[in-house]
Structure 1
Amino acid sequence: MSTVRGEYVRSQQNWAVDQERLRHDQALHYMGENALFCLLWTARDHEAGLVGLCPVCASDRIAKAYGQASRATCPSCFGTRFEGGYRALIVRPAVFTDADDSQSFTARGVVAPQEVHLETTSDFRVHSGDYAMRATGERLQLRAPQRTTLRTGFGTPYQRDVATGYNLSRAAVEDPESVAYLIPPNTDDLIEILSRTGPTPPAFADIEIIRAPLIPLYERD
């Protein structure tokens, strides 16, 4: 006669996730700075029906043949090929590492790259190519981040449910001639916005634009 052995599977401890997020966000507000994040539309957003193609640069033969914008500096889509260019402009606290000027030799000549690492909140999804804008006026292109998730029980660790932060995402400072500087606001307004004082944290609802979920349902994991 066989005996069925029962096993206890611990359920997810939501309070632990909430506490870890609270501590993480407090540290960002205490030690970091406010940054404006520009989240660009992606091909998956287009496939999901969230955005159409840019009416300015994505309708000619070149764009249709190669599946990309025919103008890298399009003022309408900012080179993304999708209408409006971005799905969200949001302000979040972030911690940036220091960057030292350097030079490197490339096929295009001598360049002076500046790479930093940053950490910010977990309530939105970053993709490679998105931008972070700082109160210094600099605009940085982001690389795909490494997420930090807190597993407290059996189950799939979806970002929306158990992520606690982005851990040291890399970002490179963009050249002033880059298309990144066509994205509103202009540099003077950007510096004024991110230098706001008052309540802790200051309110930015008047300048934030959210055109789609910050974490799309098809990218929950």
Structure 2
Amino acid sequence: MSAPTPPSKRLYTRTQQNWAVDQERARHDQALYMIGEYALFVLLWTARDYDANLVGHCPTCASDRISAAYGQAARNRCPDCYGTTFTGGYRALIVRPCIFTDADDSQSFTARGVVSPQELQFETTSDFRIHSGDYVMRATGERLQMRAPQRTTIRTGFGTPYQRDTATAYNLGSANVEDAEAVAYLIPPDTNDLITILNRTAPAPVSFADVEVLRAPLIPLYERD
């Protein structure tokens, strides 16, 4: 029989404290609802969704030789897939509270002529996964293309901090305002309806069940980390 482990060599492994995650999420959500605004997020299909058999190729523009050779749509402004090459274009349309930083319009000379770049920072809830290239629409009528934001995940004990379980917020992701001729403006709703939807004034939280579209999990199982 082996000797007992001396007290000085015993280790204590802390278990995860789920209540800490719930409280921190509640604080973030309260701040978003107090000083933020409603925004419509457009989450586009990705190649990983296709590999997971969640979506097929767009029958309108992804069946020609160009798409087969290069793996991308022959035209960016496809009215059915919005240049993604995948059926329907997006996997979800969801409305969430969001905080945007301020930005002023400016002009820049590029190879494409004079453009008006405008980059904003944003923060929103943690219950969905954003990819670079997804869009967010504001009550101003603007549509912005996002880059994947940095995630804040709480470490409450020993274990892997998955987004689904312990993430609290997306902190200061970047988004660029799209030109009025961009493919983002083909995605419904149209600008007038968008402004009406996002300016609903009923007591928070407002229901947007008539607007939201969910075609796949907001955090796919292959991306739960």
Rounded Cα–Cα distance in structure 2 between residues aligned with 1:24 and 1:92? 13
**2:99 aligned with 1:95:** yes
Partner of 1:129: helix, strand, or coil? coil
Amino acid at match of 1:33: E
Match 1:207 to one of 206, 211, 215: 211
Rounded Cα–Cα distance in structure 2 between residues aligned with 1:8 and 1:201? 42
Match 2:64 to one of 38, 60, 66: 60
Rounded Cα–Cα distance in structure 1 between residues aligned with 2:4 and 2:112? 71
**TM-aligned CA deviation for residue 105 of structure 1:** 2.8
> 1:147-191, CA deviations, whole angstroms, 9 ceiling, x for partnerless residues?
011110011110000000000000000000000000000001100
> 1:57-83, CA deviations, whole angstroms, 9 ceiling, x for partnerless residues?
000000000000111000000000000
Rounded Cα–Cα distance in structure 2 between residues aligned with 1:41 and 1:6? 49
Amino acid at match of 2:175: A
> 1:98-143, CA deviations, whole angstroms, 9 ceiling, x for partnerless residues?
0111222322233210000000000000000000000110000000
Of 117-126 and 5-14, deviating more is 5-14
Rounded Cα–Cα distance in structure 2 between residues aligned with 1:12 and 1:103? 50
**2:152 aligned with 1:164:** no
Q: Which residue of 2 aligns with 1:189?
A: 193
> 1:7-50, CA deviations, whole angstroms, 9 ceiling, x for partnerless residues?
11001100000000000000000000000000000000000000
Q: Which residue of 2 aligns with 1:41?
A: 45
Structure 2: runs of 5 or more not aligned: none
Of 71-80 and 101-110, deviating more is 101-110
| Percent identity of paired positions between Structure 1 and Structure 2 | 74
Count matched residues: 221
Between Structure 1 and Structure 2, whose CA radius of gyration is higher?
2
Rounded Cα–Cα distance in structure 2 between residues aligned with 1:109 and 1:190? 29
Amino acid at match of 2:106: S
Rounded Cα–Cα distance in structure 1 between residues aligned with 2:190 and 2:13? 53
Partner of 1:212: helix, strand, or coil? coil
Structure 1: runs of 5 or more not aligned: none
Q: Which residue of 1 aligns with 2:73?
A: 69
TM-score (norm 2): 0.96
TM-score (norm 1): 0.97
Rounded Cα–Cα distance in structure 1 between residues aligned with 2:113 and 2:211? 38
**TM-aligned CA deviation for residue 2 of structure 1:** 7.3
Amino acid at match of 2:142: E
Partner of 1:49: helix, strand, or coil? coil
**TM-aligned CA deviation for residue 3 of structure 1:** 6.1
Rounded Cα–Cα distance in structure 1 between residues aligned with 2:22 and 2:167? 10
Of 105-114 and 198-207, deviating more is 105-114
> 1:84-110, CA deviations, whole angstroms, 9 ceiling, x for partnerless residues?
000000000000000111222322233
